[in-house]
Amino acid sequence: MSSTNSLNNPLMGLAELASLLKARHVIFSSNEGFTSIAIDSRKVNPGTLFFALDGTTCDGHSFVSSAFKAGAVAAVVDSSKIESFNLENLAKEMGKDLITVDNTMKALQDSAKFYLNKFPRLRKIGITGSSGKTTTKEITAAIIEIEKNVIKNEGNLNSETGLPLSVFNVRAEHEVGVFELGMNRPDEISEITDALKPNIALITNIGSAHIEYFGSKEKIVNEKKCIYKFLNNDDIALVPENDEFAKELADGVNGKIKYYSANNFKEFGGARSLGIEGTEILWNGEKINFALPGKHNLDDAMAAIAIAKEIPVSDKAIKLGLESVKPLFGRLEILKGRVTVIRDCYNANPESTAKSIEFCDSIEWPGRKIYVIADMLELGVMSDSEHKKIGFLLSVSAAKKIFLFGEKIEKAARNLRDNDKPYFYTNDINELSAALDSFIKQGDLVLLKGSRGCALERLTDMLIAREVNSAL
Ligand code: ADP
């Protein structure tokens, strides 16, 4: 997974890691160290240390042999599985090492922690929140890398496994590490924060994303604020000033608490929406052309600036960094063809869906606005009521017609019916595509918003690449 080092220049010694993990080191190879790590045997290179994790769909211990064949020098395995998977014989036959532990997931996270200890001068930034983690991380990195050597997690590799895998990409030349931390289960933020030990920690906002697993927003607050848990007194906790839970987030936090928001920066002179072309930000008297549209992307930019100022960087870096940011896949991406598509379907939760609708309503557009809205997943018992609320927003929105897609979003239909808002509902992507195909015409603006599982980007080619029926 991580980029490879030369075999003569290992990331860490095998014996060194085994000792730090207080693990048993079974030696059958002459290899002293490893040059990358992997949890997926298909991503193993010569020199890799393979971590066998017990996943929900399969057990990584069945892939130790494939990992060894692909060049792994050693595997970190669960000591209770050595016999059942015949691992000691396998390692002996293939001339590989085993590091045996009680819990391979914990070992992966601890290994990341021990690895990071080798870089005491690296400034480590941790970003979490319900929405905007990846966007804020990308903007932060774009600004700081104007003046410093930056490492960041690729894409959204921000989970219990993604964060440790990303950490192993840190090298001696890096000055600042920008990492996003996500959560799909209780304690995940705490565990990966323990591995990262950020010096600067920021929360973007608190919403209802993944509430299915947590039960309430208060529990989400307590989970998210674990990103501040390991701060020392000189470290910085950046708290979103305008979040409804700002006070709770800051309560009992070690480190210097700083509330951030646009209005808290003396350099911020206002922002002007350029519609789908982005936002013009006035910073210290200079105009900055920021290509990401919408108020929430401006919030993410302010979060990124709050972090960058702690490094610190110059105003010039803030300008150049913000101007270099390009839209990310599925986050208010603008695709221009015969119709203009606002592709915001990387993911969806109640807050981000409301923000998308708000943004599309707010922009001036000469043609028709059409909103394609799919399910918001993982909302648990709040699912029906949150989809109904979206139904209300849509019923008073600027859309000419709404297309609803999925099982859960059907709950939004009633509001549309009651308010005589034209809509089409289906749970079949082909039916959705055909209905849209026959409705759209040149000059329309089409919003695509829905959870990852709904993959609304499947409509892009039909909307953009093909000639549309302009006679309608
Ligand atoms: P995350 O990494 O937290 O999932 P992303 O940056 O990938 O967040 O953005 C996912 C979606 O969340 C985007 O499509 C966008 O609509 C929305 N979003 C981004 N930033 C914010 C924000 N500050 N507040 C609300 N929604 C946001």
Q: What is the pLDDT of residues 391-444, one digit of tens each?
A: 999 999 999 999 999 999 999 999 999 999 999 999 999 999 999 999 999 999
33 membership: H or E segment, kind and range: strand 33-34
Q: SS3 of 218, please?
A: helix
Q: How far apart are CA 315 and CA 317, in angstroms?
A: 5
Q: 353 in ligand 1 pocket by Cβ < 6 Å?
A: no
Closest residue by Cα to atom 26, ligand 1, is 352
* pLDDT band, residue 469 (cuts 50/70/90): very low
pLDDT of residue 335: 95
Evaluate if residue 470 carries a pLDDT over 50: no
CA of 68 to the centre of ligand 1 (A): 39
Decide: 346 in ligand 1 pocket, CB within 6 A: yes
Strand order in the sheet with 401-405: 333-336, 340-343, 445-449, 369-374, 401-405, 423-426
pLDDT, residue 209, reads 67
The response to whether residue 296 sits with its C-beta less than 6 Å from ligand 1 reads yes
335: burial class by Cβ within 10 Å (0-12, 13-18, 19+)?
A: middle
Confidence of residue 106 (pLDDT cuts 50, 70, 90): very high
* Global pTM value: 0.90
Once rounded to an integer, what is the mean pLDDT over residues 273-299? 95
> What one-character-per-residue DSSP string does 275-341 give?
GGG-EEEEETTEEEEE---SHHHHHHHHHHHHHHHHS---HHHHHHHHHH--PPTTSSEEEESSSEE
Residue 419: strand, helix, or coil: coil
Locate 150 and state its tokens: 């930056």
- Rounded Cα distance between 421 and 54, Å, is 49
Residue 349 CA to ligand 1 centre (angstroms): 9
| Euclidean distance between CA atoms 470 and 472, whole angstroms | 5
Predicted confidence band of residue 5 (pLDDT cuts 50, 70, 90): low
Report how far apart the first and last C-alpha atoms of the chain are (Å, whole number).
50
Q: Whose CA is nearest to atom 19 of ligand 1?
A: 132
Can you tell me which residue has the tokens 């160290």? Answer: 33
Q: Mean pLDDT across the chain, nearest whole number? A: 94
343 lines ligand 1 (CB under 6 A): no
Q: How many CB atoms lie within 10 A of CB 58?
A: 10
214 pLDDT tier (thresholds 50, 70, 90): confident
Ligand 1 centroid–CA 297 distance in Å is: 8
